[in-house]
Chain A
Amino acid sequence: MKKLLKAVLTATLVTAMLAGCASKKTSETDASVATGEGREELVFVNYRDIRDLNPHLYAGEMYAQNMIYDGLIDMVEGGFEGALAESWEISEDGKTYTFKIREGVTFSDGEVCDAHAIKANFDAILENSERHVWLTMMSVLESVDAPDENTFVIQLSAPYYPMLTELSMIRPFAMISPKAMKDGSTMDGVTEYIGTGPYILTDFVTDEYAVFERNENYWGDKPEIKKITVKVIPDNQTRILALEKGEIDLIFGKNMIDADALQNYQDNEKFSIALSDPTSTRQIVMNTTHEILSDKNVRYALSYATNKQAISDGIFYGLEAVAETLYAKTVPYCDIDLEPFTYNAEKAESLLAESGWTKGADGILEKDGKKFEIELLYNSDSVTEKNISEYLQSEYLKLGVKLNIHGEEEQSYRDNMKAGNFDMVFNISWGTPYDPQSSLSGMTGPVYGDYAAQQGLEDKAEIDEAIDKIMLSVDEEERQELYEFVLTRLHEDAVYIPLTYECNKAIYTSSLDGVGFTQSQYEIPFTDMFFK
């Protein structure tokens, strides 16, 4: 019997050794891929599949749509740049936009991309206009026309200033080959993903990988990297390990890497990290219709009692900067001088005393026999929000404020937020390129929690009116003034406690260069990347 045991053990050992030898071979080939010299292939990773890349619907990954398709124009720092439209003119009344279409551009299936093809795309988009009502331009868009093959005209019923911003959005305004449409329509799907962009989708296996190859007929500057493979790895930790192993070259995105991991790679020779300008603002929204929070003094007190620096350092390792205002100063029209609510516990205390709150026997503030007890709602899927909630709970308690924290899964958290069922709630601004125009616009209706939260403001009607005016303004100076008015009011009304600015993060093998960020947080500028 002992012999048998020995035999089994030996067999196991031998198998293990054989397995070891067999796999050695491929790891050598892997190693040659990991060094940068002359590489033209990049392996990128995403947490999910590319899904449906129909550019006129919203069910696909934006970075991939951005690789395959072009729009009329691109948003760049400080303005816009022509893409499929070489140049454009806006009539004096702000209602007619005339685009001169770039000549000689073809889709990757050989179809010509002239004004008629663009008209066909707009027709397909407008056929499904109900789906795009979130874009304010849809409500003012009157007609589109292609008088000749190089001219494309959009006629609006009223001037609308963020028109170009909305047109630069990859969806729904990216152009697909009319041949890939189903009888000129895209709302029920497309037959192929054919665009004019720098890359062509050549292969994909759902939930496994997608391969993009350089479009050799691309109208713009050809990217250095010839082939991009996107692997699907849903788990955060596994992605990091795959990067360590050299199986992937780049991790990119807001929620693809957690702060702890990023911290580990800060001074690493093999890997580099990059952080973008603020993309969006993490904030707490206070419900101004709430019995206690309707008092502006109280809102001020809570703003002063929030130690943002401690949150930024303690929870984000300083990787998310402190947010002083609702929108970062780098956001268009938002470079305004506002006095920040810098952490000041004494001031908070005196403000609360001013409003008549006194500490009871149990250390909790009281007023007219009522305790200072409020609830903070957070998305229980987000560990970060839970951490911040717990921190604030202990901080506020020092003041005598009893903060009950309450987590709900994402959908019901959103439902509650929209319905206004909250005292305080976590929120993240829409982010680039939707800030500030689209997110402010969203405050005028029950889209997110903002509308409900602001109902208690005396000047709510005035603020809404100013927001509506911004959208219709044709004069740059007037627009800036209106923005200043709205943002100053919201700041002084202290509806929001801005916490930190979220930013886009990238971590990549050091042989890769040119990793940067664009004006939209959902785009990945592969075209600028190259291997050293």
Chain B
Amino acid sequence: MKKYIINRLLTAIPLLLAISFLCFVFINIIPSDPAEVALRVNQVAVISDELLEKTREEMGLNDPFFIRYFNWLADCIQLDFGISYVNPQRTVLGEMTRSLPNTLMLAGISFVLVIFLSLPIGFFCAVYKDSWFDKIMRGFIFMTTAMPAYWVGLLLMWIVSIKLDLLPTSGIGEGLKSLVLPSVTVALTYISTFIRLIRNNMLDNMKQDYVLYANVRGLKQKDILTKHILRNSLHTCVVAVGMSIPQLISGTIVVENVFAIPGLGTLCIESIFNRDYPIIQTYVLFIGVLFVTFNLLFDIVQCAIDPKLRKEEA
């Protein structure tokens, strides 16, 4: 077990390096000159060659590619991600830490919704396979997987906020209440995925021999379903659940923008429109690191809770 964890931790390092490198390369192969972009986003109407040269020098763009990469990497490790082009008064780190709480809040509520809704629904869908409930849910899954988030968001806003006049349309001014619609929007797609996952896993498990033996042993149906089938089905869901956390954090982009939530997603979209490269670069890096970390974490967790896997590793 210890060996496995150390192994996984060591493989994460080259992966993180590769992500940072790709991130840097992508921003660098954009054909526009960052110096010119920096000047233009500040609405300098006439960009002279001298001014360009001066800005390039200031931004360290005249150094060779790898030197720039290693400088950037060294800064990143010290959590210095540079300064926003658009607003030189602000550091990228400051902007990220300002927006992160809102995104975490949104992702967190969505996560809770996903777990609390998909678990019982998935469970009942499997237990009452092909019942009216299962059929309705399958229709629901089919629909929500096909609907793009921004559209669902606008639709919910129109029905719930305008027609029913129940909740605010956008912003976060009214606290938790403002987060209801966006988190439902974010959660919908994941709920569908998880319902299907839990349902199918349970159906698979029901066909296993241990269920037959449990029945033979005369255990209560309720106990077989909750203590054995559900538990075993959840083992395989752990990684999916774990990976849904970084997915939720990165997946709020569109929804944040639609609901005017000042989180990471809004920051990212705004930066893309303004060509605020340092922020885009840091955002991509952040999401990459998040995925690697959670992947690592839940692989280890899964290994710890699933005796079968543990045995294989040993």
Contact = CB atoms under 8 A, between A and B. Distances in A.
Nearest to B124: A5
A235 B173 CA distance: 17
A8 B120 contact: yes
Interface in B258-282: 258-260, 262, 266-267, 269-270, 275
B51 interface: yes
Contacts of B37: 411
B185 interface: no
Contacts of B158: 241
A64 to B, nearest CB: 14
Interface string B129-171: 0000100000000000000001000100110011011111111
Contacts of A134: 44-46
Interface string A395-433: 000000000000000111011000000000000000000
A28 to B, nearest CB: 9
Contact of A19 (B30, B172, B180, B269): B180
A242 B170 contact: yes
Interface string A197-235: 000000001111100000000000000000000011111
A86 B164 CA distance: 54
B32 interface: yes
B115 interface: no
A338 interface: no
A442 B275 CA distance: 24
A442 B266 CA distance: 35
Interface stretch (B84-92, B198-206, B243-251): B84-92
A245 B87 contact: no
A52 B33 CA distance: 24
Interface string B33-50: 100110010111110100
A237 B169 CA distance: 11
A410 to B, nearest CB: 8
A359 B219 CA distance: 87
B185 to A, nearest CB: 12
A59 B87 contact: yes
Contact of A23 (B32, B46, B124, B167): B167
A27 to B, nearest CB: 5
A235 B270 CA distance: 11
Contacts of B267: 207
20 contacts: A1-B225, A23-B167, A27-B166, A59-B86, A133-B46, A205-B262, A208-B171, A231-B260, A232-B262, A233-B171, A234-B260, A235-B257, A238-B169, A238-B258, A241-B161, A245-B165, A245-B169, A411-B30, A415-B33, A442-B45
Interface of B: 30-33, 36-37, 40, 42-46, 48, 51, 86-89, 98-99, 120, 124, 127-128, 133, 150, 154, 157-158, 161-162, 164-174, 177, 180, 221-222, 225, 257-260, 262, 266-267, 269-270, 275
Interface of A: 1, 5, 8, 19-20, 22-24, 26-27, 48, 51-52, 57-59, 130-131, 133-134, 189, 205-209, 231-235, 237-238, 241-242, 244-245, 247, 410-412, 414-415, 438, 442, 445, 447
